[in-house]
Chain A
Amino acid sequence: MRNLEKSDLTLLIAVAVLTLFAPFILNPFPADSAMAQFNAGYPDLMQRFVIFGIFAIGFNILFGLTGYLSFGHAAFLGVGSYAAVWMFKLLSMNVIPAIILSVIVAGLFSLLIGFVSLRRSGIYFSILTLAFAQMMFALAYSVLTPITGGETGLQLALDDPRILGQSQTAEGNIPVPGLFGLEMRDSFDLAIGSWVFTFNIGYYFCALVLIAAFYLAIRIFRSPFGMMLRAVKSNQQRMNYTGLNTRPYTLAAFVISGMYAGLAGGLMASMDPLAGAERMQWTASGEVVLMTILGGAGTLIGPVLGAGFIKYFENIFSKINATILHEWFAFLPDGLEDFIVAVLYPFIGKGWHLTLGILFMMVVIFLPGGLVEGGQRIAAWAKRRKSGQGSTGNKTEPAE
């Protein structure tokens, strides 16, 4: 933790506090109140927050720093999931070896794909990564069925060997993933008044991994290596003219972000031990692009925010239905109520993707820096307000 700049340290602490106290923060409403449906503090969703957070942090190391837009990153996540499930099937239900293997396998795949794809840049790079990912998806879906489980996905079975563990529990069930006796799905509820907070072991495991991953990302961002990657983004040609071969650096960034994706995939399989090919489809790759852009590409905290934002609204928005809307607007006169509900209805529930698409377009058009830039603009505006309106007139524009 030493050697960190103060602002980075604050950021790290903020992320740590946010993730460790997430069960409290995400459950602000009493369990039996009408607002309880906005509570996001249940284990399944919280795990997804941090897992996609890790995925987006990794993607940001490639896209945010070097500017290479990969449209095939979900493939590494899928590969990581498969590797982890195979480890559960063959070795033991301990999550540590599973996650280590998934990171290694994803790293190898990204080394291979990155080596080929990084020969080209710009749109060609995007298409190449897309082509590789689609190829892997198609193969996992069809020919590689013995390895990937095909359409049904890869699942655990009672007769798996599990050399270091047991094939089945004493009751004859499939064992669950755990960490030296701690079961990932275990959680306990803490009731304070009418609030119920759920603490889940799997979530806390993911949260610790996220904090470590975030710390590593800070170190990468602030290292000479990170500086080099940013130089690639701002002017690669100049880098080449100074006699520097940029490809090892971009390849390293690609592999690192591929390993992050593998880590996310491994965690995903550890929380719920199955893996399917649909995790590798290009729409899944598009999703992580959305998260990173929405939060703010090239910033440290942005991807985490973006991942949380999208996953939260995906779950909460899609739960709202017309009846709930009618309840909300019940205080209005009937005609007006029906009208407002009719207007809002296409954007909620199953229409959540529409809202997401519109939001995403708005962000790209008006706020290329994402939510982080939005926050900075609001902060700057508030500061200007505070320092007195009179001084706005003689503000100096930076010379171009």
Chain B
Amino acid sequence: MDAIILQILNGLDKGSAYALIALGLTLIFGTLGVVNFAHGALFMIGAFCAVTLSRILTLSHTIIDETQKDFLGNPLKVDVPYVHDIFGVSTGDAIIDWAVPLSVLFAIPIMILVGVIMERGLIKHFYKRPHADQILVTFGLAIVLQEVIKYFYGANPIPTPAPEAFKGSLDFGAMIGFDPNIIIYPYWRIIYFAFAAVIIGGVFAFLQFTTFGMVVRAGMADRETVGLLGINIDRRFTIMFGIAAAVAGLAGVMYTPINSPNYHMGMDFLVLSFVVVVVGGMGSLPGAVLAGFLLGVLESFASMREVIDIIPGINQVIIYLVAIIILLTRPRGLMGRKGVMED
């Protein structure tokens, strides 16, 4: 029992990342009808927003500190971050410590901007072209974005720690009556899950309860009619692309403490996210979220020692295996709509 709870918890944070990326992919597919292979790159750019902000915050200048001496008796040179000058030492340190959560605010405008530029500059021209062309051009774009990031940040993973306050782990088992130290769960992963839930809820609420969202949903159902009613649906779809980019970016920002960002993390997640989207059903938002969490949890169950002992290697292939089975038995995915992407 305790092992099962632990695996469910372990699956949730990875599942959250899958769900967020798959949500963005589905938003883009549902609104613009474009298969975006560069979505993993957006996730990666989000992660590097966090890296950039923490680098900006730790920009420092060197001063000579007369009060401290090195062993020869000379005054010591100390690096002082600019934030210390502006906010004072203790507030400055707190800001540096909280770089990753602060990056969320920093990343939103950047990601929306990146998304809008991408849509207006490139994807707009590919609405009428076959899906194969869309896949290929966004695949090329993903390579370019990845290489640009590699050029500026190097090829090695860059550790970006979570704030000190969230470093520890929660003894979840003790809270619900198991022995202590059996089910422990890092605080940051709880935060990641909560964050993902808030974002997913926010996107759904935005689509469900605002006029803008209503128009977008109408546009997803029948673009032409909405256009004929005199609504500039293209502009709204562009904004939706920006929002989808921001969702992927935020997923990346918050993921940095879990896994140090490197330039190919986007590609690693992209393949899995596509599988998630297809399993959930192309164009179905609830399907994408459901499949994301489902596959995340399944993956962590498959990595249990007991399961690996029975079927070796199952943890490596479980997601693909599930995808193959689902595609062959339920061609539209778990919650796919009729008439979407059928040929």
A interface, CB within 8 angstroms of B? 67, 69, 116, 119-124, 126-128, 130-132, 134-135, 138-139, 141-144, 236-237, 282-283, 286, 289, 293, 346, 351, 353-354, 356-358, 360-361, 364-365, 368
B148 interface residue, CB < 8 Å from A?
yes
Among the stretches B9-17, B187-195, B201-209, B309-317, the one at the interface with A is B309-317
Contact B144 A135 (CB under 8 A): no
Contact A357 B132 (CB under 8 A): no
Given contacts A346-B151, A357-B144, contact A128 B324 (CB under 8 A): yes
Residue numbers in A under 8 Å from B136 (CB-CB): 289, 293, 360, 364
Contact A354 B328 (CB under 8 A): no
Contact B323 A127 (CB under 8 A): yes
Residue numbers in A under 8 Å from B267 (CB-CB): 283
Given contacts A123-B341, A354-B147, contact A361 B137 (CB under 8 A): yes
A358 vs B148: C-alpha distance when bound (angstroms): 11
B331 interface residue, CB < 8 Å from A?
yes
What's the least CB distance linking A145 to chain B, in Å? Answer: 10
Given contacts A116-B328, A124-B327, A289-B136, contact A357 B143 (CB under 8 A): yes
Among the stretches B46-54, B218-226, B240-248, B271-279, the one at the interface with A is B271-279
Contact A282 B271 (CB under 8 A): yes
Given contacts A139-B313, A346-B151, A354-B144, contact A127 B139 (CB under 8 A): no
B236 interface residue, CB < 8 Å from A?
no
B107 interface residue, CB < 8 Å from A?
no
Contact B135 A123 (CB under 8 A): yes
Interface centre among B320, B323, B328 (most CB of A within 10 A): B320
Given contacts A127-B323, A128-B324, A351-B147, contact A364 B133 (CB under 8 A): yes
Given contacts A116-B328, A127-B274, A128-B324, contact A139 B316 (CB under 8 A): yes
B282 interface residue, CB < 8 Å from A?
yes
A126 vs B274: C-alpha distance when bound (angstroms): 10
What's the least CB distance linking B287 to chain A, in Å? Answer: 14
Contact A361 B313 (CB under 8 A): no
Q: Which of B130-154 contact A (CB under 8 A)?
A: 131-133, 135-137, 139-144, 146-148, 151
Instruction: Give B286-330 as 1s and 0s: 1 = Cβ < 8 Å from A's Cβ atoms.
Output: 000000000000000000000000001100110011011001100
8 contacts between A and B (CB under 8 A): A67-B132, A126-B135, A130-B274, A131-B275, A138-B316, A289-B139, A346-B151, A361-B140
Contact A119 B328 (CB under 8 A): yes
Given contacts A122-B341, A123-B341, A282-B271, contact A135 B321 (CB under 8 A): yes
Which of B35, B141, B274, B324 is A357 in contact with, Cβ under 8 Å?
Answer: B141
Which of B133, B144, B274 is A368 in contact with, Cβ under 8 Å?
Answer: B133
Contact B320 A365 (CB under 8 A): no
Residue numbers in A under 8 Å from B275 (CB-CB): 127, 130-131
Contact A141 B139 (CB under 8 A): no
B125 interface residue, CB < 8 Å from A?
yes
B343 interface residue, CB < 8 Å from A?
yes
What's the least CB distance linking A299 to chain B, in Å? Answer: 16
Contact A130 B271 (CB under 8 A): yes
Contact B148 A124 (CB under 8 A): no
B interface, CB within 8 angstroms of A? 35, 122, 125, 131-133, 135-137, 139-144, 146-148, 151, 267, 271, 274-275, 278, 282, 312-313, 316-317, 320-321, 323-324, 327-328, 331, 341, 343
Contact B144 A123 (CB under 8 A): no
Contact A123 B312 (CB under 8 A): no
Residue numbers in A under 8 Å from B131 (CB-CB): 122-123
Which of B144, B321, B324 is A361 in contact with, Cβ under 8 Å?
Answer: B144
Residue numbers in B under 8 Å from A293 (CB-CB): 136
Residue numbers in A under 8 Å from B122 (CB-CB): 361, 365
Contact A142 B313 (CB under 8 A): yes
Residue numbers in B under 8 Å from A116 (CB-CB): 324, 328
What's the least CB distance linking B185 to chain A, in Å? Answer: 26
Closest to B155 in A: A350
A365 vs B143: C-alpha distance when bound (angstroms): 15
Residue numbers in B under 8 Å from A138 (CB-CB): 313, 316-317, 320
Residue numbers in B under 8 Å from A131 (CB-CB): 275, 320, 323-324
A144 vs B317: C-alpha distance when bound (angstroms): 13
A142 vs B278: C-alpha distance when bound (angstroms): 26
Residue numbers in A under 8 Å from B133 (CB-CB): 364, 368
What's the least CB distance linking A358 to chain B, in Å? Answer: 6
Residue numbers in B under 8 Å from A119 (CB-CB): 328
Contact B327 A128 (CB under 8 A): yes
A131 vs B271: C-alpha distance when bound (angstroms): 8
A102 vs B131: C-alpha distance when bound (angstroms): 33
- Additional pairs, 18, CB under 8 Å, beyond known A132-B324, A142-B313, A237-B343: A116-B324, A119-B328, A121-B343, A127-B275, A127-B327, A135-B320, A139-B316, A143-B313, A143-B316, A289-B136, A354-B151, A358-B140, A358-B144, A360-B140, A361-B122, A364-B133, A364-B136, A368-B133
What's the least CB distance linking A135 to chain B, in Å? Answer: 4
Contact B143 A360 (CB under 8 A): yes
Residue numbers in B under 8 Å from A353 (CB-CB): 143, 146-147
What's the least CB distance linking A306 to chain B, in Å? Answer: 13
Given contacts A354-B144, A358-B144, contact A120 B327 (CB under 8 A): yes
Residue numbers in A under 8 Å from B144 (CB-CB): 354, 357-358, 361
Closest to B152 in A: A346
Closest to B316 in A: A138
A139 vs B312: C-alpha distance when bound (angstroms): 9
Residue numbers in A under 8 Å from B323 (CB-CB): 127-128, 131
What's the least CB distance linking B156 to chain A, in Å? Answer: 13
Residue numbers in A under 8 Å from B146 (CB-CB): 353, 357
Contact A357 B140 (CB under 8 A): yes
What's the least CB distance linking B342 to chain A, in Å? Answer: 8
A143 vs B151: C-alpha distance when bound (angstroms): 35
What's the least CB distance linking A295 to chain B, in Å? Answer: 14
What's the least CB distance linking B45 to chain A, in Å? Answer: 15
What's the least CB distance linking B343 to chain A, in Å? Answer: 5
A293 vs B140: C-alpha distance when bound (angstroms): 11
Contact A364 B324 (CB under 8 A): no
A363 vs B141: C-alpha distance when bound (angstroms): 12
Contact B274 A139 (CB under 8 A): no
A128 vs B125: C-alpha distance when bound (angstroms): 27
A144 vs B316: C-alpha distance when bound (angstroms): 12
What's the least CB distance linking B163 to chain A, in Å? Answer: 35
Given contacts A119-B328, A135-B317, contact A127 B278 (CB under 8 A): yes
Contact A122 B343 (CB under 8 A): yes
What's the least CB distance linking A36 to chain B, in Å? Answer: 28
